[in-house]
Each structure stands twice: as structure tokens, then as C-alpha cells.
Amino acid sequence: MSDAYFNRELSLLEFNKRVLHQAYNQNLPLLERLRFLCIFSTNLDEFFEVRVGGLLEVLERNAPPTTGPDGLALKETLDEISIRAHQLVHEQYQILNRELIPLLATEGIRVLRREEWSEAQVAYLQHYFHSDVLPVLSPIGLDPAHPFPRILNKSLNFIVRLDGKDAFGRNSGRAIVQVPRSLTHLVELPSALVEGGRAFVFISSIIHYFMAEIFVGMTVMECYQFRLTRNSDIFLDEEETEDLLRAVQGELVYRQYGDEVRLELTDTCPAELEQFLLERCEIKPRDLYRINGPVNLNRYSDLFELIKDARFYFKPFVQSMPKLPKRSSSYFDAIQRQDILLHHPFDSFQCVVDFLREAAADPQVLAIKQTLYRTGSNSPIVDALVAAAKAGKEVTAIVELRARFDEEQNVALAERLQRYGIHVIYGVVGFKTHAKMILVARREAEKLRYYVHLGTGNYHPRTSKIYTDYGLLTCDKEIGEDVYRIFLQLSSMGKASKMDALLYAPFTLHKGMVKRIRTERENAEQGKPARIIAKMNALYDLELVNELYAASQAGVQIDLIVRGVCQLLPGMAGLSENIRVRSIIGRFLEHHRVFYFENGGNPELFCSSADWMLRNMFHRVETCFPIRHKKIRERIMEDLELYLRDNTHAWLLQPDGAYVLARPGTDEEPVDAQATLLERWAAHN
């Protein structure tokens, strides 16, 4: 049944294709279209750093050839990745060159090429080069004393062909010049030197133009940009690691110099220099990407800070604070009256910060425990925990050091927390702590009451403005005691405790999902109503996919809203006719995980930190929490049904693995789920 499963890497490329397609969308503001092009670039970088890097690492071990459920062998997967990624990169630069650059120019925003500079602009940029650029350059002439350098991951470089001898009589004929990361990507030209509008120049263009002034006395024959991507995954043998913090710190040093996985090279570079770079960088021709434009298109993202004209961006909105129940004098009072649902980005993350700050200052609060996966620098959440520690509370933080690409920040966070006497725990060896939990223990009338925040997203103020997520504030006794047990287990090495309300990975979450899918199948077989709606970021778990296939064959109606990777293929005769899969790509990054089961007329609704992926189910600490409050349950169901009606930003997965953009029918009104949610937010505020 290999044709019944979608390859993970190819599915992820399909997701990036949907992101890229947003740059075509003429209904979006101009710089938002450019932003999606930049997001595509960073997504593709991470895809090569992590996914392709991991595949190449396995291939180099010379392990016996194996095939996945999709039927593709490892080398076949890499070959297919190369074909599709080359197509996407080609399309990316076509959009840039044929659509976005001309449109920017008509709006008076130009990034000038070297051949477009006037004499006055050249004079200005020459002064800038000598004052701000040349002092920080470190060109490397290639000779026996200076072999080909270890190129920094994702750094922008020039390969330079030279003629003549330097001051020491050397004549290697080649040199490498790295564009310093400390320099800005774009330099704006003074308005006096620009005829209307605004004009910018890439720092790389300045270095290229004045390259001869770096190699004085020699002739620069040719000069071409290139960029090398490396495997950036961190490997830790945790069984042999005595101090996880120090081990992560040590591995971070080597991240920039992992194995080579991709070479990007300007398409004007001649074959001889191309071959030289392929050999020195140890890159196969399959992994070479010829670029028709700026290498690393993400450098355009500097425009978003430089151009402030509101016409070019999404209409801004101010996040709201949730309306607390009447007669509530504090968050504790409000939560006692009823559970509070937070729907980000429409609801402000500030309420979570305020809840923590109130807990830190409240003399009745005895202890605060929290998981921290990604928090960002200068986090108000961390400030609140520090304030609580200073106020004499018992504060415990579970810090996940191995949150990919946030490791360095989390190491610094852990060290800061420890300085204030906060108990810092690095989770469980071999399992990432991905759950999003806050537990506040408060003494009330000689009893201890637990107040809890559970979320589907990170405790990160910035991402809360661009990711869709749910958060629940509750003092439900069973949920509070379950969260307490999880924190106790994470800190004490005890056995898994029985949960009263939560499903908990790696122990009960997978079993709980399988059980509920089977219940829907059994109900369908008995002629009872049976339905599943599941919203998540990724679906890649063979057992869950097969359970969904079996449920579909029994007649269960299944709607899956899967933003990214999806192993399951819907609409296949005799297998998945009753399954529909859609992906929403819009202004906000769809991030909440929500699972609905009809359950024979007694519906169950859960929110979770976990996707339906093998790693989340068995290799991470995750929580999945029930939504028990009737009005909150109705509100979330209303949101889910809205996503299922979206016919403007929804992509429908086909049986062959392709995605088709949904369009309104002749008698249908356009439905944009995210825009509708924004309108509802505005109407209530």
C-alpha cells in the first residue's frame, strides 16, 4: 500500500509551495507578498538544514537500503527532493524578477543593481564602502598557506578570480570574501541622490562593485556570490551526557560547521569556478542551485523595517484583552467563576503575563511551575517568574534546551533563572518537553487550589501576534491535579501517574487518540452518528493514519485541517473516500491543535500541544486537555466549522498528493476564515 501514504519530505515541500503561492496573490498588500517570498526562503533553509541534512547523514552511514511506507528509498527521496526544490527555487525568482520587483518600482521602491548606479551614487557608495565596509572584511587568498576555508553555514560569500601577484609575490588566482553578518543587508541612498521614491543597495552589491579596492595591485577578473547550507541538527548522546546544559553549549559551536547539504551559486558563474566550488564544498551536482538574482532572497526582509507605508501591509489590529466575568476583582476571582479561553492572536498574550504577575505578587500564592520551550529574548513571562522568586514564591521552570534553533537562547535563559534561585529542570533525558503549562498553587480558606494555564502554542509574545493558538485558564480540580502530577513526574523521576482529565504523551495520548478513532468507527458500523474533526500542524503517524483509513471505510465522516506535512492521502476509492484534508495558508500561521470526536452524541473536544506525529506521541512530553465549559466548546466548534467553509485560503489535498486552491462556487459567497475571525474580534471590541 505504498501509494496510500505521502512521503514526509515531499509533503513538507508541498507546504512550502503553498507558502510561495501567497506571493502571487494580488489581493495581498505588496510587501506582504514579498514577505511570503522571504518566509519561503527561510523555510527552505530549515528544510535543507534539518530534513535533507538528516537524510544525507543516514545515507552516509552506508546502512542497508530501506524504504518508507511511501515506497521511496532514501536516494529516491533525495533525488525527488532535488527535482521539486529546483522547480520551486526557479519559480521563486521568477515571481521576484517578473512581478514583485517591477511592482515595487512602480511604487517608488527600488533596489538598484550595480549597472544602474549614477556617478553621484557611486561616489557616495565608495565613501560608505571605505568607512563602513572595508574595515570589517577579511578576504582570504587561496594558496598552500591559506587553503579553502571552512565556510560558515548560510553565510554569503564571493568566489573571486584574480590575476597578478600580491605584495608577497603570491599568485593563487582565487580568493574568498565573506560578507560580514554584522553589516546591514540594505543601504538606503540619500534622497538627494534619488530621482523620486526611495532607492536601496545590497551591501553585497557594494562589496562586488569595489572588489578591486580589496585586492590592491591585482586584477579582479571575475566575482560571483555563493552560499553554503550545512546540516544544523544538534546530536547529543544523552546517555553519555552528565551535564545537558554544558553539552548543548558545546554542540552549538559546531552547528555552523556541519556537513554540507546545499550550494547556492549565482547563475552567471562559469563552469570552471562552479566545479571548483563543488569539489571544495563537497557538494554533488544534484545539490547545486543556480540563482537568478540575489543569493539568499531573504535579504529583502530588511525592507519591512525601512518601509513604513501602511498601504503595503496588512491592516493593523490591536489585540484585545478578554472580558472577565462581572464582579471579578482579579484573575483568580474570574477563573473561579468560569474557565477563560484565549484565542491568539485576536486575544492579547498580555493576559497570560498579567495572570503570572498577579500570581507573583499575591501573598496567598505559594508556588508557580511553568514549562518554557520558546519564550524569546527579554520575555515578560521570565520577568514575572523572576519577580515571583524575589517575592519568596517557590518557582520551578522546565526549560527545554533542545528547542531547535532556540538552543542558545534557552541556555542563556536557564542561566538567568538560576541566578535568581529559580529551580531549573531540563526535562527528561531522551524526551523534549513540548507541553505548554503553568501551574499556580494558591492557599484559599485553609485549602490549596490549583490555577492552570494550558496552551497549544509557545509562551512567546511575538509569535502570539502572528500564530493562531488557544490557551485555557482554569481551576478545574481534576485538570489542576493532573498538571501537578505531570510537573511532579518531570522533576522527581517518578512513575507515570494516572490522569483524571488530561491525555499525556508519551504515556496516554497516542492510546487515547487511537481509542477515540476506533470508537467513531464502531459507532459508524452500528449506524450511529460518527464524525471526526482534527486540526493540527502535521500528521505523520502510520498507526493513526491507518486507524483513520479504517474509520473512513466504516463510514466515519472525517475532516482534517493539516497546515503542513500530511502522510494520509484522502479521497482514495475503498480506503479514504470519507476523509477530506485541507490546509489553511493566510495572514496568520495556523498553529492550534484541536481534536473533535462525535462520540455517539456525547461529543468530546480537546486542545493540545501535540501534533499527530510519531515524535510528539512517543518522544516528547505533551498535554492534550479537554474543553469542558459548554460555551467555550461551542465557540471552538464554531471556529472549526468556519475553517471547513473557507474557500479562499484553503488548499485541498488530492489523492495524488497535490494541493488545489479552493474557490467559491458560482452560488457561493467567498469565505476567508482568518478575515472572518478578525471581523468577529472587531465586532466584540
Torsions phi, psi for 673 (to 5 deg): -60, -50
- Name the residue among 673, 676, 677 with its Cα closest to residue 647: 673
- Written in H, E and C, the secondary structure of 443-502 is EECCEEEEEEEEECCCCCCCHHHCEEEEEEEECCHHHHHHHHHHHHHHHHCCCCCCCCCC
Task: List, in order, residues 6 or more apart from 188 with CB less than 8 Å away.
Answer: 198, 199, 200, 306
CB-based contact 522:496 (threshold 8 Å): no
- Using CA atoms, how far apart are residues 251 and 468, in angstroms rounded to an integer? 32
Place of cell 485553609: 446
Torsions phi, psi for 635 (to 5 deg): -65, -45
**Residue 434: active-site member:** yes
- Using CA atoms, how far apart are residues 396 and 423, in angstroms rounded to an integer? 5
* Distance, CA of 333 to chain centre: 36
Torsions phi, psi for 630 (to 5 deg): -60, -50
Counting beta carbons within 10 angstroms of the beta carbon of residue 270, is it exposed (0 to 12), middle (13 to 18) or buried (19 or more)? exposed
- Name the residue among 661, 567, 582 with its Cα closest to residue 3: 567
Counting beta carbons within 10 angstroms of the beta carbon of residue 449, is it exposed (0 to 12), middle (13 to 18) or buried (19 or more)? middle
> Looking at residue 315, what DSSP letter applies?
P
Torsions phi, psi for 535 (to 5 deg): -115, 130
Counting beta carbons within 10 angstroms of the beta carbon of residue 518, is it exposed (0 to 12), middle (13 to 18) or buried (19 or more)? middle
The angle that helices 30-46 and 8-21 make with each other, rounded to 10 degrees, is 160
C-alpha cell at 95: 515571481
CB-based contact 165:218 (threshold 8 Å): yes
> Looking at residue 82, what DSSP letter applies?
H
Question: Three-class SS of residue 409?
Answer: helix
Strands (E), 609-680: 612-613, 620-626, 650-653, 659-661
Q: Which region, left, alpha or beta, applies to residue 259 given φ > 0 means left and ψ of -120 to 50 means alpha?
A: beta
C-alpha cell at 590: 495556523
Task: List, in order, residues 6 or more apart from 624 with CB less than 8 Å away.
Answer: 502, 503, 504, 505, 509, 512, 595, 606, 607, 608, 609, 610
* Distance, CA of 487 to chain centre: 26
**Cis peptide bond upstream of 29, omega within 30:** no
Task: Identify the active-site residue in 185, 343, 434, 453.
Answer: 434
Percent helix, strand and coil across the chain, each to the nearest 5: 40, 25, 35
- Using CA atoms, how far apart are residues 581 and 561, in angstroms rounded to an integer? 6
Active-site residue set: 434
